Structure 1
Amino acid sequence: MTAINLEFHQAPGIASAMAKALLLRRKGFNAKIGMPEINASWFGAQADQGALKDYCETLDIEFTDILPVLYPHVMAGGMHMHMLSHKVFPIGLLGAVHLKNTITQHKAISISDKMDIHAQMGGFRLTAKGVEFDFTTQVKIADEVVWEELSIYFMAGKFGGKENPSTETSFELASLDQLSDVATWSVPKNRGKKYASISGDYNPIHTSKYLAKLFGFKRDIAHGFGILAQAVNQSELANKTHISAGKCQVDVIFKGPLYLENDASLKQAADAEDTSKNQRFDLFSGSNPKPSICASLIAL
């Protein structure tokens, strides 16, 4: 199959791509064919100060001239949406779940930096329950990679993984025992709509209580990356560190929904040792004893 190369010289518009991603009929994933080769690039990207202020205000993160470690993912969201909505992409957006992410920040990015952002479709792995597929994203400043991520999505279905699963598996995080409370905050009713206006992700499970119920949720749920950004920030505040302002790595597994108008409770191991360099934490939704998000922040 011929490679698809998408090129942008300004922030990619999301509305039309989101509509196509939600409504366009798909052929369905075929393990014998695999994923199409789709690449996207945004040249000369720069953070918008107003948008960044809205992001920080919404998530209770201090606004500085340095981009929060997860913000490049938000900037790349438009490109990702154009890739997911392309007619050759076999999976519908509503059939895919954002499962895991690894972010590596090699150097802090200033709000004044001009960047080139590149994303491409990666490999896939068959599991007993469905298929995992990858996106990779790189941020370059003057041809130097300063930030990169691996995003792993999952789609449930019978693709042959039960009989012949892939030998390669994606990363896991060690479970935490004997947890101690780190921070608790409320996720407001309007968080889904507010974060959607910032990120461009208007998936109805985040913006409508009634439509979210149609997809099997009790009500509308928070955007995972917005809640993760708050968790990273709260972990740093509680442990009095600034790991995410320098060379660092963030690993996350999205385990389940975090509902709007619920408390988000951040917990870490009661016997955690050197949290100045390594913070492993879980995030819980309301009274649910199972974590919604498991993540780690590591200084490199």
Structure 2
Amino acid sequence: MTTASPTTGTLTGLPALAPLLARGALLSPLKRPRPDADFPRTRLVLPGLRVDLARLAAYERVCGFPTGADALPVTYPHVLGFPVAMRLMSGRDFPLPLLGLVHTSIAVTRRSAMPATAEYELTVYVDGLAPHRRGTEASVVTELRAGADVVWESRSTYLARHRTAARPPAEEAPAGNREPLPVRAEWPLAGDTGRRYGAASGDRNPIHLHPLTARLFGFPRAIAHGMWTVARCLAEHGTPDATAVRAEFRAPVLLPGTVTYGAGEGGRFELRGARDGRLHLSGTVEPRPA
């Protein structure tokens, strides 16, 4: 198979999400995912990026971070990079259908505190496809630079479900069977949690907004954004200035509902259903050398 050489595309601003979601939805029925498919090799770069402080404050409030802090919350660069990632994943040359694509994990490395008023350069690219026991998974990398230095980077995986002969690794244990971590907090979640996070982040996917639109995609009620769940946990947990975070999204959180936040040794944290103990999110926070 011949693959295209990597190219760089320079943006003049953050793309609007709504047209990208619509384009991705229209193109989804035309795509047949497989792990050996080619994928876009373009790196999209946005120089001179500055944070909208009013939107940042709204994000901090809905996620539980302190407002008015000098530094960006550890998860906020994902919000900045998400429209650029959607531009890549909604294109004709991205082989996985956007409809039904599931965010399965995120790994973040922050090398130092990031001033909210600084200027950054944002880069987003698709790093590859891989077989998954339930289909095909794409890795998307987001980087934020201050000057020449990468100060924040993430790797998100997105799963397109389809029939596959792949088998899970022998060492993989069912996540839901793990011993729960000690409960540190219980959070009742209102039915408008998805709408409030969508307004702050710009991610207004219909599955997060209203029961009716969520049912169109197979959910009984609206579900919380995965990135809201991890941000809410990290706001409670706390993160060093130089840190490595890993989170895996296990099951959707139905809204309204009540969840418990648990934390234990080794920087582990998780989110579970308050009534049934179902594991929704598991992760770790680790300090790293600056």
Partners of 1:39 and 1:256 in 2: how far apart? 31
Structure 1, gaps ≥5 residues long:
237-242, 273-277
SS in 1 for 2:267: strand
State the partner residue of 2:236: 234
* Matching of residue 39 in structure 1 with residue 27 in structure 2: no
Q: Which amino acid aligns with 1:131?
A: T
Structure-to-structure mapping, 1:1-16, within 5 angstroms: 1-2=3-4, 3=6, 5-16=8-19
Please give the root-mean-square deviation of Cα atoms over the aligned residues, in Å: 2.4
Quote the offset at 1:174 in angstroms. Answer: 11
Instruction: State the SS of the aligned residue for 1:152.
Output: strand
Measure the CA separation in 2 of the matches of 1:251 and 1:125.
19
For structure 2, the 5+ residue unaligned runs are none
* Alignment partners' CA distance in 2, 1:173 and 1:113: 39
The aligned amino acid for 2:60 is C
Instruction: Return the TM-score normalized by structure 2.
Output: 0.89
CA distance in 2, matches of 1:117, 1:62: 24
Once the two structures are superposed, residues 80-102 of structure 1 have per-residue CA deviations (whole angstroms, 9 ceiling, x without a partner) of 11111112112222221000110
Conserved 8 A contact 2:33-2:160? no
Aligned: 1:288 with 2:283:
no
Letter in 1 for 2:256: E
Is residue 31–residue 159 contact of structure 1 (8 Å, CA) maintained in 2?
Answer: no
Give distance in 1, aligned partners of 2:59 and 2:18. 19
Q: Is the 8 A contact 1:77 1:199 kept in 2?
A: no
C-alpha distance 257-132 of structure 1, shift in aligned 2 (>3 A): same
What amino acid sits opposite 2:86 in the alignment? Answer: M
- Could you report, residue by residue, the CA deviation over 1:203-245 in whole angstroms, capped at 9, with x for unpaired residues? 1110121222232222100111112111111123xxxxxx34x
- The residue type equivalent to 2:49 in the other structure is A
Change in Cα spacing, 1:174 to 1:204, as seen in structure 2 (3 Å) is closer
Query: Match of 1:124, as an amino acid?
Result: L
Residues 1:257 and 2:252 aligned together: yes
Alpha-carbon distance between aligned partners in 2 of 1:36 and 1:80, rounded to the nearest angstrom: 11
Say which of 58, 64, 81 aligns to 1:60.
Answer: 64
Cα offset, 1:28, TM superposition: 1.9
Residues 1:32 and 1:52: Cα distance change in structure 2 (over 3 Å)? closer
Contact 2:175–2:279 under 8 Å retained in 1: no
SS in 2 for 1:95: coil
Equivalents in 2 of 1:78, 1:127: separation in Å? 25
Distance in 2 separating the partners of 1:212 and 1:66: 34
Distance 1:44 1:173, change over 3 A: farther
The residue that corresponds to 1:215 in the other structure is 217
Distance 1:31-1:176 versus aligned 2 partners, 3 A rule: closer
1:131 offset after TM fit, Å?
1.2
CA distance in 1, matches of 2:99, 2:274: 25
Which range moves more in the overlay, 104-113 or 12-21? 12-21
Query: CA 1:150–1:175 in structure 2 vs 1: closer, same or farther (change >3 Å)?
Result: farther
1:72, 1:33 → 2: CA distance? 29
Partner of 2:196: 194
How far apart, in 2, do the equivalents of 1:234 and 1:173 lie?
A: 22
Asked whether 1:20 is paired with 2:15, we answer no
1:37-58, CA deviations, whole angstroms, 9 ceiling, x for partnerless residues?
2321111111110000111111
- The offset of 1:136, in angstroms, is 0.8
Residue 178 of structure 1, CA deviation: 5.3
Count how many residue pairs are aligned between Structure 1 and Structure 2.
281
Task: For 2:78 and 2:11, locate their aligned partners in 1 and report how far apart those are by CA, in whole Å.
Answer: 16
After superposition, where does 1:23-172 map in structure 2 within 5 Å?
23-25=26-28, 26-63=30-67, 64-159=69-164, 161=166
